[in-house]
Amino acid sequence: MGDMTPDMDASARMYLGIDLGTSSVKAVLMDEAGEVRASATSPLEVSHPKPRWSEQDPATWWSATEMAVAEVLKGTDARRVAAIGLSGQMHGATLLDKSDAILRPAILWNDGRSDIECAELERVPGFRSITGNLAMPGFTAPKLAWVRKHEREVFDRVAKVLLPKDYLRLRLTGEYMTDASDAAGTLWLDVEKRQWSDAMLAATGLDRSHMPQVFEGSQPAGRLRQELAERWGMDTVPVAAGGGDNAAGAVGVGIVRHGQAMLSLGTSGVYFAVSDGFRSSPEQAVHSFCHALPDTWHLMSVMLNAASCLDFTARLTGQKDVPALLAEAEAKGLQGNGPLFLPYLTGERTPHNDAHARGSFTNLGPGTDRADLANATLEGVGLGLLDGLLAVESTGLVADEITVIGGGSRSAYWTQMLADILGKRLILRSGGEVGPALGAARLARLAIEPGASLDAVCPMPAVTAVREPDAARHAYFLQTRHPLFRRSYEQLKPLYSDAARGDDFRPS
């Protein structure tokens, strides 16, 4: 299964990467030089039938995949494709009966209905040492506990539980298989041992017969079915186990070795650091997962609102757009003892795990203007990222420099401020749109070339800029502003839960 496709000139080989996101399926073709030669995207829709519910029909994943693959293969000799790799949104619960029929819409990563079941799972003996994580509604196991309690007729018919990308694998190969990075996000995996935990499965009324077999992300895990190969004009090529979206995204940007780290400044903010051993800090809401490569793990801090806070402040202050807001902030600069911003607009993950937390501006004065609020927003997000960085570093995993990706990385002013806040050298690289689909294609190549150099297959993109931290400014942020930031949250925390009790009140 791991053999190279026969009679194919190595220089002509291509690798197909498929990423099943929440809003779209993306397919890319990567050549032997590691360059993306073609890409295609097919949109998806999310259903919210009730408050806090988030679902998708897995059948739409497959139809979108077929459209994206057909588009990306246009004008290409599909027989050049030597392997396929998969990536996808993590944590989703895809429930199948014994005939592989879909039993109900898939419950997605951003579904929040299972908070009671999370509290119940936390009482399982050894829960945190096995899973390396807190129980959160986003994970898969609490979703099955909810289905068991509220949709018993569905639960009793469940024969297999698959993660989203692995439902695509079933349609591609006919096999029930997954990879360790995606499986780590279920709360059923013993993350250190990289295999299913019988105790955690039993806690939700399941056993290993309900689970796909676990592989490493760079291993072959099935072959393309003959019928599909003929329809697409391909050979029955290997399909790599692949990875969850964050792990595959890290492979795509070359974050693959111990001590390497990246910071993603998108709608949310993610700090991702690679470890050569299992580490965890669940009490600080750090995610501890397997990486998509053998004998490699990663820690991840997640803040729910990062670059999205800039959109909020632009709208709040009447600024026309975020670039104009950033220009105004830079023109004035960050003032000493200025306003303080808590970026918890929709709650927070690391380090608070507080769904009720909300954003705020404090320390306002009569002279506070829009530029001050903009700078406070940039600083507040940075101080939230510092919280996450310190939580990860509390495990002993410390990076010397951090690669920055995502839309927020385009601002030289903000990235320099972040370097000063974090006290780290920040590296900006070309190819800002690199995504998990490229990582999936790289894993596909490793699946048929297990002896290939990791540095050759997973290089980092070229450096475009470096932001060196200023020692004096870092000391100011760490010793003065960060303690104020933390104290502000602690002082306001009792109000969040009190305010949440009035969520359903509608004044007449």
In 185-286, DSSP assigns E strands to: 189-190, 195-196, 213-215, 220-223, 238-240, 243-244, 261-265, 269-275
User: 338: number of CA atoms within 13 Å, CB side?
Assistant: 23
Catalytic, 7? Answer no
Catalytic residue from among 245, 372, 387, 420: 245
CA dist 212 → 191, 304, 418, 446 (Å): 16, 30, 41, 21
Please state, in angstroms and rounded to a whole number, the distance separating the CA atoms of residues 49 and 60.
Answer: 17
Residue 252 CB-density burial (10 A; 0-12 exposed, 13-18 middle, 19+ buried): buried
Please state, in angstroms and rounded to a whole number, the distance separating the CA atoms of residues 370 and 372.
Answer: 5
**Cβ atoms of residues 5 and 448 within 8 Å:** yes
SS3 content of the chain, % helix, strand, coil (to 5): 40, 20, 40
Letter for the amino acid at 80?
Answer: R
Q: What is the token pair recorded at 299?
A: 């820690």
Please state, in angstroms and rounded to a whole number, the distance separating the CA atoms of residues 20 and 65.
Answer: 8
**Cβ atoms of residues 293 and 447 within 8 Å:** no
3-state class (DSSP) for residue 449 = coil
Of 393, 192, 395, nearest in space to 297 by CA: 192
Q: Is there a cis peptide before residue 282, judged by omega within 30 degrees of 0?
A: no
3-state class (DSSP) for residue 400 = coil
**Residue 123 CB neighbours (<10 A):** 9
Letter for the amino acid at 344?
Answer: Y
In angstroms and rounded to an integer, the radius of gyration of the C-alpha atoms of the chain is 23
In 258-333, DSSP assigns E strands to: 261-265, 269-275, 287-290, 297-303
Instruction: Supply the residues annotated as catalytic.
Output: 245
